[in-house]
Amino acid sequence: MIQTDDMTREYKNYVELTRLDDKQERACARRKVRKGLLCEPMLGWFITAEAWTALPKDRQIVEKIRAAAVTHPNEILSGVSAAAILGAILWPRFHRHVHFATDEHTSTRNGKMNVYVRHYVKDCRKDLYKRATLNPVSAEKLLTYDSSYMYWLYKRISDVAGIVCGFLVTSPLQTMLDVVRQIEFEFALAVCDTLARLYHITREQIDEFLTKRARCRGIDYVRYVLGFIRTDSDNGGESFARARMIKAGFEIPELQVSVRNPFYSSQRDNNPTLQNTKTVRVDFMWKVPGSDGRTRCVAAEMDGRDKYTDARMLVDSGAQDGLDVLLRQHDREGALTLLGMTVLRFQFREAYEKNGESMILKLHRCGIPMVSSQEQDERRKWLIEYPQKHRLKFE
């Protein structure tokens, strides 16, 4: 057990939350919390304020979920908490609570802190006895793996539950069903696109799973939302932007389309400021009919700060700094323009703020086609009116 007199010094060796079971030690630790030396992100779990602040937001989220999972080792994480462990981490505001699945066989009691939310998932604890001996729950191990490896880390227990890196979680399909009913369409689609891609989930598997749960609350709404899933969406930000486009009534774009790079040459300098690849891939693409009967292509690209500032993303792209990335994008846009495409750029904040008004205005100005009025009514019915009418309690 850590000695409280040396707690601040000792905790500098910890990058993970550490639980204190002794009442006296917890009291001493909380005095240090009041002085700003320690943090208590979860009840009874402590870490130095310096170490906690230094952790990336994703790591903080997973650490809090780890603390809850260790505190309740026989309960199954669900909803956005399960999604985070499965590889689809949302903004911190969605992780103020840790979500668990419960069924008719689950015995629970209210804790002293309102940090847990429990959701009914029929038979979620069925076959739980079949699980192998659990590995220690490790947030560090979980975040070490590349997201594409998550498929191999996940071990199935039943249709609705599984295990990954020692965490008991609802299955990817059950998590998708729960998330759609718990958070707004734009965020839910970002999570579901990611889970479908990471766990190789097919349309047939989704249909089969939903058919078995035909009597679940809001199942028609879930079925409608999951109809928009695309496994070729590159990241959650692009999925979010696409959801805004869907809600606004635009035709759904083609995603991650590869086109010939007219600038490519084996003799061309392989400089990090040049896009010297045989093909160029665009985030979104529409074929827009013109008044002259000819069709033009509009390529839309989403920008974010991370691609210019995140050290890991810079290394992955072969760039030395954000200026390299910017210059290569100019070269890339030149290639697309030479192919006769209209190139539209928008920032993620334009898709996120004010219900995406700025992005939507740009799409209208570019002449992006809308779906039929009947389809717009259908989208409005399910994506706007249904959640309001049935008072779906979003986070």
- Whether the per-residue pLDDT at 8 is higher than 80: the answer is no
- Compute the distance between CA of residue 195 and CA of residue 193 in angstroms, rounded to an integer: 6
pTM, to two decimals: 0.88
Single-letter amino acid code for the residue at 166: G
* Span of 38-52, 84-98, 267-281, 353-367 with lowest mean pLDDT: 267-281
CA neighbor of 337 nearest in space, from 267, 395, 282, 266: 282
Most confident of 5-9, 51-55, 138-142, 273-277: 51-55
CA 355 to chain centre: 19
Q: Which of 35-49, 57-71, 242-256, 305-319 has the highest mean pLDDT?
A: 242-256
Say what the pLDDT of residue 284 is.
97
What was the pLDDT predicted at 332?
86
Q: Averaged over 245-267, what is the pLDDT?
A: 93
The answer for residues whose C-beta is within 8 angstroms of residue 221's C-beta and 6 or more apart is: 180, 181, 382, 386, 387, 390, 392
Rg (CA), the chain: 24
Of residues 279, 298, 391, the one with CA closest to residue 337 = 298
What are 116-149's pLDDT values in tens digits?
Answer: 888 888 877 766 655 544 555 666 667 666 777 8
Please, are residues 331 and 224 in contact by the beta-carbon 8 Å criterion? no
- CA quadruple 25, 27, 32, 36: dihedral, nearest 10: 130
- Which residue did the predictor score with more confidence, 300 or 13? 300
Q: Residue 122: how many CB atoms within 10 A of its CB?
A: 13
Contacts by 262-265, CB closer than 8 A, 24 or more apart: 262/335, 262/338, 262/339, 263/331, 263/334, 263/335, 263/338
Which amino acid is located at 68 in the chain? A
How would you list the strands of the sheet with 279-289, edge to edge?
254-260, 279-289, 295-303, 342-347
Domain ranges for the chain: 4-54, 57-239, 250-369
The alpha carbon of 303 is separated from its chain's Cα centroid by a whole number of angstroms, namely 17
pLDDT at residue 394, rounded to an integer: 54
Quick one: DSSP state of residue 115?
A: -
**Is the pLDDT score of 285 beyond 80?**
yes
Report which of residues 113 and 258 the model is more confident about: 258
